Amino acid sequence: MSLKEKIDQRRTFAIISHPDAGKTTLTEKLLLFGGAIQTAGAVKSNKIKKTATSDFMEIEKQRGISVATSVMSFEYGGKLINILDTPGHKDFAEDTYRTLSAVDSVILVVDSVKGVEEQTERLMEVCRMRNTPVIIFINKLDREGKDPFSLIDELEAKLAISTRPLSWPINMGKGFKGVYNLFDSSLRLFEPSKTSMEKEIVEIRDLNDTLLTELIGDADTAQLREDVEMIEELYEPLDRELYQDGLLAPVFFGSAINNFGVLELLETFINLSPPPQKRPLEEGEVFPEDKEFSGFVFKIHANLDPNHRDRIAFFRICSGKFERNKFYNHVRLSKKMRFSNPTSFMAQSKNIIDEAYPGDVIGLYDSGNFKIGDALSEGSKFRFKGIPSFSPEIFRELVNKDPMKSKQLDKGIRQLTDEGVAQLFIQQPGNRKVIGTVGQLQFDVIKYRLEHEYGAKCDLVPMNFFKACWITAEDQANMDKFQRQKANSIYFDKQERPVFMAESQWMLNVAQENNPGLQFHYTSEFDQ
């Protein structure tokens, strides 16, 4: 099979949503219909003790939420599908934003009861920045929610995107009977099942078929015909190019936990979604069909397998062909590296691979060489754009509760902050450590993982900082003077770059006005 055929075969996308919209459940059901798993575990079900396949960290299992990005691959309909299941919680938005840099399209899950929520709007802003193609899945139709037409209006108004319904529900809540697929003009009725895939009961190609009335009754048949007629009048026909340009979002309705509407979504996604796309560089672009191999790290996860204390870099292949044991150039370090155990993912399950192609997300065992955003290539010094980093908003001092475990604590916090969901700042003399995050929940996760994965107990004491600013200067004398004057507010990041911890917006403004020879950066991603 040629490189182009390999590329055309692949689909790499993220599933994103506001917390508790059903994103992880939908992920599982896609895996179920794709044959990748045989039984789905309901995340919050008391009857099923097995937790969701994509939630593999212990704290995720306890809380019933996703706080780490999972990668899952399976084959369906002649395509190799790579799903990236992202954290829904807003405190982990930075991890989700980075993940969006590694996909070619997105499925956005919306709760039919709550409609468009704040986090949904933020995620769509990131998608629009990259013109990422989006398919919307309106979930939880088994509950009494908002009117479908009202939901469509809300999507267009709040997400600033045109929509085209491709499936339509028959009733909602207790009366929910199934979905009509406008894409291929078929009706599929299902029996609800939370744990296994139900076979389709009936397929009707014509809404005027008398069998339809026998199955769902006169009233529901009349309502469905009226709704479909209204959709055809109100909404433009599906335009594949507009969808792939990120301007038009196909919309599906269903109930992921009961398997309603998931198959329609999957089959249409296979038909519509784009194969791996080009990626922007700081200078130019890289295309999947380019023969030279390239790719970048968008996430690092320590202790994916707690028994082996491993550190995995999640790596998106952008061009060419990756081969096991072949030497590649680590662009930032100007260092040749080869990988003897590259892996593919099925949540926490990993399989060693010999080769991979554009669109694939692979795991590279890392001994500390990688940072988020790092690139590998066969020679060119690629630097990829669009991997965001944010100045922290909340700060806590790390206080060791067991001096005998100082080494474990130091190793643990460095590895965990390498993952990108928190940042570590150190003040000298004294080796005072401060962690900065964009959300409170990250501190709970860090504290839990330090204790259970590294055996180190700590307290996280609130710090009265407003913002962390990386500082640079063309004249070193200006830098030295500022660091002397603001010694109590100067920390260093893990790359030993100076960081000014401003206690308020006013103090930051004063520091900037009094030091015109300094540059204050609100992200660590600046040219050095």
Residues 339, 257 share a domain? no
Domain-ending residue, one of 272, 287, 310: 272
**Helix, strand counts (H, E) of the chain:** 14, 31
Give me the half-sphere count of Cα atoms (radius 13 Å) on the Cβ side of residue 255.
Answer: 29
Closest CA to 333 of 300, 371, 365: 371
Residues 349, 214 share a domain? no
Q: CATH number of the domain that 447 lies in?
A: 3.30.70.3280
For residues 388 and 141, give the distance between their C-alpha atoms in angstroms, rounded to a whole number. 35
Per the listing, tokens 């199934």 go with 178
Count other Cβ atoms within 10 Å, centred on residue 464: 8
Structure tokens at 369: 């060489």
Q: Are 32 and 197 in contact (CB under 8 A)?
A: yes
For residues 426 and 430, give the distance between their C-alpha atoms in angstroms, rounded to a whole number. 9
Q: Are 111 and 99 in contact (CB under 8 A)?
A: no
Residues 332, 411 share a domain? no
DSSP label of 428: T
The interaxial angle of helices 262-272 and 23-33, nearest 10 deg, is 80
pTM of the model: 0.77
Residues 238, 195 share a domain? yes
Q: Is residue 172 part of a domain?
A: yes
DSSP label of 284: S
pLDDT at 146 (0 to 100) = 92
pLDDT at 88 (0 to 100) = 53
pLDDT at 43 (0 to 100) = 33
For 222, phi then psi, to 5°, come to: -65, -40
For residues 88 and 448, give the distance between their C-alpha atoms in angstroms, rounded to a whole number. 19
Mean of per-residue pLDDT scores for the chain: 84
Q: Report, as ranges of residue numbers, the positions in the chain whose pLDDT lies below 70.
A: 36-69, 87-94, 190-203, 302-310, 346-350, 386-390, 421, 524-528
pLDDT at 389 (0 to 100) = 61
Residues 234, 169 share a domain? yes
446: left (phi over 0), alpha (psi -120 to 50) or beta: alpha
Residues 223, 79 share a domain? yes
Closest CA to 76 of 29, 15, 23: 29
Residues 133, 157 share a domain? yes
Cα 438 to chain centroid, rounded: 16
Q: CATH number of the domain that 290 lies in?
A: 2.40.30.10
Q: Is residue 180 part of a domain?
A: yes
407: left (phi over 0), alpha (psi -120 to 50) or beta: alpha
Q: Are 344 and 356 in contact (CB under 8 A)?
A: yes
For 263, phi then psi, to 5°, come to: -65, -40
Domain-ending residue, one of 272, 291, 316: 272
pLDDT at 139 (0 to 100) = 94
The full DSSP string for 450-500 is HHHHH---EEEEE---SEEEEEEESSHHHHHHHHHHTGGGEEE-TT--EEE
Count other Cβ atoms within 10 Å, centred on residue 415: 20
In one-letter notation, the amino acid at residue 431 is N
Q: Please give the residue range of the domain that contains residue 80.
A: 10-272
Residues 317, 426 share a domain? no
Residues 193, 140 share a domain? yes
CB-neighbour burial class of residue 5 (10 A; exposed 0-12, middle 13-18, buried 19+): exposed
Domain-ending residue, one of 245, 272, 299: 272
Residues 260, 289 share a domain? no
For residues 411 and 454, give the distance between their C-alpha atoms in angstroms, rounded to a whole number. 8
pLDDT at 12 (0 to 100) = 95
pLDDT at 48 (0 to 100) = 33
Residues 192, 300 share a domain? no
Q: Is residue 382 part of a domain?
A: no
pLDDT at 191 (0 to 100) = 64
What's the total number of domains in the chain?
3
Q: Is residue 439 part of a domain?
A: yes
Residues 500, 453 share a domain? yes
Strand, coil or helix: 209: coil
